[in-house]
Amino acid sequence: MTFFFIFSNNLNISQEEEDGGCVVVRDVRLSDCGNIKCVATNILGRATSVAQLVIEAAPRLELPENYNDGVIFRCDEVIRLKVPYIARPAARITWSFDDEPIASTEDVQVETTETQTSLRIAAAKRWHCGEFRVLAENENGEDSAPIMVTVTSPPSQPGKPVVIDITGTTCVLRWEEIQDDGGADVKHYIVEYFRDVWDVWLKAKTTKECQATIEDLIPGSR
C-alpha cells in the first residue's frame, strides 16, 4: 500500500512509512495552518481522508523600534500607541498605566484586532508622563512590553525678579527658579525690560542662572 499527502500550504515536511503513513511537519509557522489530505492507494483503488492542521502559539508583541527609547508628545497632542502582535488563539489585550488597568472612556479608546492593538488618548497631559504597558495573553502564554511616555509643555513662570543690588548704571536681579520645567530641560532665562517711551519690551540679558547683572543703564530713563 502506498500513502501520499497533499497540503494546502508549502510546508517543510518529511514522510515516513511504518505501519501506515506518517508525516512530520517541521518549523511550523502560524501561516502554515490549513488542510492535509492523506491518500492511500493499492491495486484495488484509493481511499482519502482530510484533516485540518491547527497551529497555536503564545502571544508575541512586536514593539516598534521607535518606542524603545520612549515616546514624546506635546501637551494637548493626541497620544497614539500602536503595537502589532502575533497569537493563536486570539490574545486578550490589557493596557495599563503605572500598573493601573486602562478602561475605554470618551477620551481614551483601546482598539484591538487579530494583529494589532492600539491606545488613543484625545489630549496629552503632563500626568500622562510615565510607563504605559501592553499585555497580551492566551492559554499558551503571555507577553508584555513597556512604553515610556513623556509629555512636554511650556515651563512654569519663574519667580518675580527682585533687585538685590544697584550701583550707578548697573543693577543685579535675582528670582526663584521655575517649579516645573515642562518635561524638558530649561536652556536659559531671558531678561527683558520695558521702555515706557517706546512702549516695547527689550532684551537685556540671557542667562542660565537665576540671577543677572544688567549693565549700561541710563539714569533717569524710563
Question: Average pLDDT, whole number, for the chain?
Answer: 86
Span 9-38, pLDDT tens digits: 555 444 444 445 566 777 777 777 777 777
**Per-residue confidence (pLDDT) for residue 21, from 0 to 100:** 59
- pTM of the model as a whole: 0.67
User: What's the pLDDT band for 206 if we cut at 50, 70, 90?
Assistant: very high
Nearest to 57 by CA among 8, 94, 91: 91
Sheet containing 57-61: order of strands? 57-61, 79-88, 116-121, 108-112
User: 57 or 79: which carries more pLDDT confidence?
Assistant: 79
Span 99-130, pLDDT tens digits: 999 999 999 999 999 999 999 999 999 999 99
Average pLDDT in the 152-162 region? 92
Domain range 58-152, its CATH number among 2.60.40.10, 3.40.50.970, 3.10.20.30, 3.30.70.1150: 2.60.40.10
**What ranges do the domains of the chain cover?**
2-55, 58-152, 162-214
Residue 131 has pLDDT above 90, yes or no: yes
**Per-residue confidence (pLDDT) for residue 12, from 0 to 100:** 46
